Structure 1
Amino acid sequence: MNDGATDVFQVANRPGASHRVTLRHLTADDQDEFLDLVSASVDLHHPWMALPSTPERFRAYLARYAEPHEEAVAICVRGSGAIAGVVNLNSIIRGRFQSGSVSYAAFAPTAGRGYLTEGLTLVVRYAFEQLRLHRLEAQIQPGNHASLNLVRRVGFRHEGYSPELLYIDGAWRDHERWAITSTMVDIAPTPAHPTLPER
């Protein structure tokens, strides 16, 4: 277990940010803990999502999230360093969009304690203050009530419904679309990303 947040996640170390969780990037050293957590969480995750469950798939997952437009963030319990959940920032697009998609999962051993809510709140602040994004989107299947309640708690707004949006568990699934923008969150003053046009 890797205790504490890395320097890139300054938002997680700010006074009052969270007394219970820290953020850090997933690394190869997390493989055994991550795979054990995925195995323990099969019933929690199915049918809503599937995380890598073999060493080969975990290495491919890390390689994907090493790309500049993707990030995999571990939510860790402060003090023990145990991984309580993961938040992925996907498909980050710059220019006039300055947007990314977010997905997330709690792990069964610590689920239901609010760690994912605190962690996702910190990741949203990190995305807006340090990555300088303007918008994050979440696509959620209508029956996934835990996920819908989570984004409501964090402050996302409902924006619509898309039939057959994502291929999950062997079929194209309908999803609700939720989003949050930097103007909806009390963030530190942040200069625009250099790829944002002046007009």
Structure 2
Amino acid sequence: LKQKLWLPREMDRGLDKKYKGRYVFTEHHESHAASAFFPSPFDEAAIMTLDGVGEWATTSLGTGRGRELTLHQEIRFPHSLGLLYSAFTYYLGFKVNSGEYKVMGLAPYGEPRFADLILEKLVDVKPDGSFRLDQSYFTYATGLTMTGPARPSRHCSVSRGAIPKPIVSRNFIWTSRHRSRR
């Protein structure tokens, strides 16, 4: 915590005070959006970032035009597709923040048997693509674990994979409409 509170001083120390410029600190999702838009070949784009959690945002929708980047809408913690993915990683018996690729790799070997159940019980998807997770199924906001005990199943893996599709497609529609209004 001390390093984060005094980050400019720590950076000066690490650079032997040779850097004389200004430090600019951006929010987590703004950094993701900028790293996708600015090096791209596009002059204008709808931008969506989906992640576990930055400062508080977990999903951000925005637009990029020329040298400008604007985030228009966000979904905040604890409602997070990234944390939902991590919860399924934990639920399947893998380590969070390192086993997600294994969950992704399992998905082609199962059937999306639980996708409807997950959408019915865990994720409330709104018409605009925003969503809410039923927190009674998760402990990551209040405890040290993601869910209850692990229950390995390739069918859970592929079912979890089906969940972001309606959310992402509805968010892209919203972002595209918002971009075309400007």
> Same fold judged by TM-score > 0.5?
no
Give 1 or 2: higher helix fraction. 2
Find the structure with the greater CA-based Rg: 2
Q: TM-score, normalised by structure 1?
A: 0.22
Give 1 or 2: higher strand fraction. 1
